[in-house]
A and B are shown apart, each in its own frame.
Chain A
Amino acid sequence: METRDDEEQFFPHGAVAFFVLFVALCLVIWYGIYFLMLART
């Protein structure tokens, strides 16, 4: 099924922005625990 000609080409820029924030959150949570671990060694 082709995308209809009357639909504009869709680029998921919002999803990319969301995904960037998602990876950022991943790093914040992970390194939060990581540095807590290092502080306790």
Chain B
Amino acid sequence: MKISNSLKRVIILELSIPVALLILGIYHGLMQTIYRAGILHQTSFLKLEYYQGLTLHGVINALVLTTFFAVAFGHATIAFYLKKEPDRRWTWISFWLMVAGAVLAAWAMLAGKASVLYTFYPPLKAHPFFYLGAALLIVGSWIPLFNWARIYVAWKKDNKENKTPLAVIGTLVNFIVWFVCTLAVAYEVLVLLLPWAMGFTTAVNVTLARTLFWFFGHALVYFWLLPAYIMFYTMLPKLAGGKLYSDLAGRIAFFSFLIYSIPVGVHHQFSDPSISRGIKFFQGFLTYGVAIPSFITAFTIAASLEYAGRQRGAKGWFGWMVKLPYLDPDRYLFAYLISGLILFIFGGLTGIVNASYSLNNVVHNTAWIPGHFHMTVAGPVFLAIIGMSTYLYSKTAGKRVFLPKLNVIIPYLWSIGVLIFSTGLMWGGLIGEPRRTNLGMTYLNRDNPLFHPEWVPTTTLALCGGIIMFIAGMMFILVFFGTLFSKRKEEAILELPVSEVYHDEKRIPLFDKFQPWLVIMAVIIVLAYTPAVINATQNPGPGAPPFTPDSPVPIVTEKTK
């Protein structure tokens, strides 16, 4: 499909800007493994302080990269499948708001005034620009949903009997969940934190802030994941040379995400005070609901790949696994998606552990947690983002991929790195190694009384994995920018691989419309979160004054004295 220069430009910018930022984001990933293994016993390196770098790592990789990509990929799926481009003016307004937000937040972090990590829990306070930047990034990302929804409604009028394309269901579900969950964090940031950070209010209810954050924070991971799911269902079977085993399974998966993504956030607060055990248990139970899409996907994609393998002559129960185009440079997206799926097996299953109520006591805030999430966000999410960024860029810009043979091995090298890295972290976590800590200063410093020798092998493993990941990441930067700086050699088009379906199930209206699911989503959210918010407002005592990371003395200004 040929697209306008305007859409092409906005997509290319939304893909390239975060990839450029990724250089810094991945650099500080590597740096952390170096500090944590005790190679460095310092608070900073090359003028970047450990916790400042950790904040940059989380914000760039988990908020900026993922949001920009989701918007760009959303524009692409809507335009490609519904054959209508999003409104020009609003796509650019959205873009500039997101860029302005990212710039403000980046300034605050780089200036060392926002070393609060990507969760920015109060009473740790960041510079007001950090909060403002976050708000602008989020508001900018809301805009496309309304535009796409209007395009969809118009398409439906002309296509009453046709099934909505699965990729469109995925994109709309993703952004509906995003819009609803970000309302809570926007409230937290703009109403609770920004006035407090600027000194207009003196105390903040920390538990309420955390509860609002996690209303957002869990659904956030599905916002990251759903673009990859869209690729697994609508592209991977085709890339493998097969067909999607069941389109209906994909719809069940996406609508399950719509209803279960948000009302489970309290499972990040199992260790928090003031939220009742009953609500924690209920939301833990609901979290098992969000395992539905993952289990369905595991089977459906395996079946689709098995079909592909059998088309190529595979025999027996597992022969199909061998007969897939793992190293075909012309189908490199297959490599990125399949390695993500392999990592996701471990990432998803460890996630189920984390959601399991009392089991959380074993793992909460230990290194197990980043071990888990590097097999999800740094697994299928990251690989889908970088693979598709190269793909979408090269197609819309009409360029050939730079170093295609290198491009196809990057996901495998990355995955080996992640497996080693996460093994080290999870092992360490189970023996008490904390996350979010500059271990090199004390716990991994032989000259320090707090030295913990049992964390040496675990952090060394993480270091080895981190180095491999860093190399793979830099290879990707090379391939992406090599492609970017190359000359146009192909027709510039918007194109996505499209899978055929094996079981072409008849259109089922329930799985082809949003209204009933939106109602169920709203009901479950109200049931799950009303008690939690009541707990968070009634049980705590006084609110907290602001603190900066460098001092136990709270900030008291003229206004607040």
Contacts and interface: CB of A to CB of B under 8 A. Distances in A.
Interface stretch (B73-81, B198-206, B302-310): B302-310
Given A33-B362, A33-B363, A15 B306 contact: yes
Category for how many chain B residues contact A:
20 to 34
Contact of A15 (B299, B359, B361, B363): B299
A12 B302 contact: yes
Contact of B320 (A14, A29, A33): A14
A16 B317 CA distance: 9
A10 B307 contact: yes
Interface string A1-41: 11100000010111111110010011001100110110010
B443 interface: no
Nearest to A19: B299
Contact of A14 (B306, B358, B362): B306
A16 B363 CA distance: 31
Interface string B497-514: 000111010000000000
Interface of A is mostly: helix
Contacts, number: 71
B358 A10 contact: no
Contacts of A16: 299
Nearest to A40: B362
Contact of B502 (A3, A18, A30): A3
B350 interface: yes
Please report whether the interface of chain B is mostly helix, strand, loop or mixed according to DSSP: helix
B245 interface: yes
B556 interface: no
Nearest to B302: A15
B353 interface: yes
Contacts of B309: 14
B271 interface: no
A15 B303 contact: yes
26 contacts: A1-B504, A10-B307, A12-B302, A12-B303, A14-B302, A14-B317, A14-B320, A15-B303, A15-B306, A19-B299, A22-B298, A25-B345, A25-B349, A26-B352, A29-B349, A29-B352, A29-B353, A30-B353, A30-B356, A33-B353, A33-B356, A33-B359, A36-B362, A36-B430, A37-B361, A37-B362
Interface of A: 1-3, 10, 12-19, 22, 25-26, 29-30, 33-34, 36-37, 40
Given A12-B245, A36-B430, A37-B362, 13 more contacts: A1-B501, A10-B502, A12-B299, A14-B302, A14-B321, A15-B302, A17-B318, A18-B306, A29-B352, A30-B356, A34-B359, A37-B359, A37-B361
